[in-house]
Chain A
């Protein structure tokens, strides 16, 4: 996860080994490498907790200790204290218990973590939570809530058998919701072209395409 320092003995293990060990690593989060203090000294900023102003640049430098982060999620403001390194995905899942967005690759290569930021689908695994401040964040939970249990696009997923194991599904639902809103007249080809950012290991693409077209044109179910 985003709050994992580089293991101190990284040089003595193979990269493959230490990447594998990363997820199990229980290293203290927030420990600042000595070199960071050196940098802070050279640019005249305080590396300690809280915000300071770098005299030369007159811009505020935050962290690395937790700072106040205000996020607008599904229409509600949530106040958090997070290290700057916390991704939006980790903020949602680990700090707010919104576990709809899934963590699969954590590297912008699969789409399982897709949420909407000001209406556009984004990979929440590669957006810092601090950078999402001031933007409208929509998660799959919000979609369901606003529609008393299931949004039209979700009903269309069910009606069109658009999921198998379901792990990619929340991300796909959000990507489809973005297509539906941004291109309310999309034909099959146009809709598929806008779903190029999500992968499904189970191969539900056909059902997903039917579901999004159903949501757009109301061809079957989902009403």
Chain B
């Protein structure tokens, strides 16, 4: 990798002051498990790295009236060991499943919540240096022409056909989490879903964060009573899921749905929020209703030539996530 300047500030203010408004000049360094690999392949070439790991305030978890606030540099291991996501207490099982699904202890020890949410796509054309949109000289899609078995089955009509790699994002979105962002212009809060966008032009990134902004924390509001994540994985360790579904829903006293969210991972350039989830409201949740909603979500898919199998997997993931949530984690 290229040489760079390095700083390890101890306050958020210092860190922000060291970033640059020009894209690509400087980068935030958290656990480094993705950033350093990107730099070794010259896919990003920052001239300065600003380590966030010396900023104490970013590394804390707190449970308050508004819910659970997780600092951006809390490691995946720290999150799972903290007890804050008590799986059996059925608080935020969707997030617990997603974090525990990252099976490598080495990645969980170094990887942070912020870095996990902002890791770059694993599309092999992107990782080979063909750009996020992977277009040939005439603007044709290398993905469409080539091997796209892991690529998008939703929101793929434009030039972006990669899938977003984050496991935590779908779970956080299903739990209606917000993200806190700091920059020289102050703090802002957005829904976690608003951290992501589908690029339409070369040079656009998959995140809405400006280059001088830092993610400082995510907050999970009062939990929905039932939630779960189900991942379909090709192997047990060291790989991303083929498809994942995070679901969260509330039932009234009569067992009718009052609120429901279904968010799919690894199917679109952003975490994919299934609008159909709303149609569950007012209904009871049984096997037939779950199968129907899974089929309705899948019906809207637009797979490429070689990845229609992911449409089936998406249905399986939705059904099993609901089943896990109903069973109580």
Contacts and interface: CB of A to CB of B under 8 A. Distances in A.
A175 B5 contact: no
Interface residues of B, number: 51
Interface in A52-104: 54, 56-64, 67, 83-85, 87
Contacts of B104: 111, 196-197
Contacts of A6: 2, 42, 45
Contacts of A151: none
A63 B1 CA distance: 14
Interface stretch (B32-40, B166-174, B265-273, B281-289): B32-40
B305 interface: no
* Most A C-beta atoms less than 10 A away, residue of B6, B8, B18: B6
Interface residues of A, number: 64
B262 to A, nearest CB: 27
A156 to B, nearest CB: 19
Contact of A57 (B6, B17, B41): B17
A60 B26 CA distance: 15
A4 B42 CA distance: 10
A126 B36 contact: yes
Given A60-B8, A197-B237, 20 more contacts: A15-B130, A39-B22, A42-B22, A42-B25, A43-B18, A57-B7, A57-B9, A58-B17, A59-B8, A59-B10, A59-B17, A85-B4, A108-B107, A125-B36, A126-B32, A127-B32, A128-B29, A131-B8, A131-B29, A196-B238
B261 interface: no
A30 interface: yes
Contacts of B304: none
A138 interface: no
Given A128-B29, A131-B53, A108 B2 contact: no
B105 A128 contact: no
**Listed residue (A5, A56, A83, A197) with the most chain B CB atoms within 10 angstroms of its CB:** A197
A67 B49 CA distance: 15
A123 B17 contact: no
A204 interface: no
B129 interface: yes
B48 A39 contact: yes
B201 interface: no
